[in-house]
Amino acid sequence: MKIKCLLIDDEPFALNILEDDLLSFDNVEILHKFNSPIDVVDYLRDHEVDLIFLDIQMPEKLGTQFIRELTNPPLFIFTTAYHQYAVEGFELNAVDYLLKPIAKERLTSAIRKVEDIMLLRANQNNTVDHIVVNVEYKKIKIFINEISYIEGLKDYVKIYMVNRNAPLLTRSNLRGMEKILPVKDFLRIHNSYIVNKNRIQHVALTKLTLPEIALPVGKKYVGNIEIF
């Protein structure tokens, strides 16, 4: 199980040290490094990220503020030289709070925590038969077999149901939906679409057909498509 992560720190030297330390972990994949959290929001919309390592005291925005502003943040670990943000960090549900210079033992412990969380989520995901979403200030229970496909609209998604003409609109994004949908039943096929595997009728290299609609297959998701 690869842990896909981002590194954020305004100090290039600190970024390089953390990158070097993480390269010794075979199960960690560094997707990108950032000197500021400002550009990370757009990156998260288009990429699947499991974990963020981020500094707290940065000129343009505090790391804690950045996390608070994310709708569905990935797992995250604070890396900082300051003790005083520790309580706030754990109130935000940080996986860990690593003080610089980061000891290898502490980094190893933090990675193991991430592995445990991801494994637990995967096991829960494979047994779930429904999800709960907020629609017009109400919590709605939707059974997995009722969902045909899901369309992402920046900070919202449309959930298209098998026996319902109008889709349900909820504040989330496709990355957030992927976290709660069972991977055995759902497939990401495009930056804008997730489909219920059981609804797929035909598959082509650039198009996938459901009973009610044909949807495009994005180039980077071609590898996700199974042969039906």
User: What local confidence, expressed as pLDDT, does residue 224 receive?
Assistant: 74
Bin 93: left if φ > 0, else alpha if -120 < ψ < 50, else beta.
left
pLDDT tens-digit map of 27-60: 999 999 999 999 898 899 888 899 999 999 999 9
pLDDT score at 122: 74
The predicted pLDDT at position 226 comes to 58
Count of CA atoms in the C-beta half-sphere (13 A) of 134: 5
Beta strand segments in the chain, E: 3-8, 28-34, 51-54, 75-80, 96-99, 130-135, 138-143, 147-153, 156-161, 168-171, 186-190, 193-196, 202-203, 207-209, 214-216
Strands 138-143 and 130-135: antiparallel
Q: What pLDDT, in 10s, does the model give residues 155-206? A: 899 999 998 889 999 988 888 888 888 888 899 999 999 999 999 998 988 8
- The two tokens of residue 182 are 């069972």
Least confident of 12-16, 34-38, 113-117: 113-117
Question: Residue 185: which of 151, 134, 222, 143 has the closest Cα?
Answer: 143
Whether residue 86 has pLDDT greater than 60: yes
Q: What is residue 35's predicted lDDT score, i.e. its pLDDT?
A: 95
Condensed to tens digits (0 to 9), the pLDDT of residues 122-153 reads 766 666 788 888 898 888 899 999 999 999 99
What gap in Å lies between CA 206 and CA 222, rounded to an integer? Answer: 8
Q: Is 161 left (phi over 0), alpha (psi -120 to 50) or beta?
A: beta
Residue 144 tokens, joined: 């997995």
223 versus 198: the higher-pLDDT residue is: 198
Q: Is 154 left (phi over 0), alpha (psi -120 to 50) or beta?
A: left
User: Residue 74 carries which DSSP code?
Assistant: -
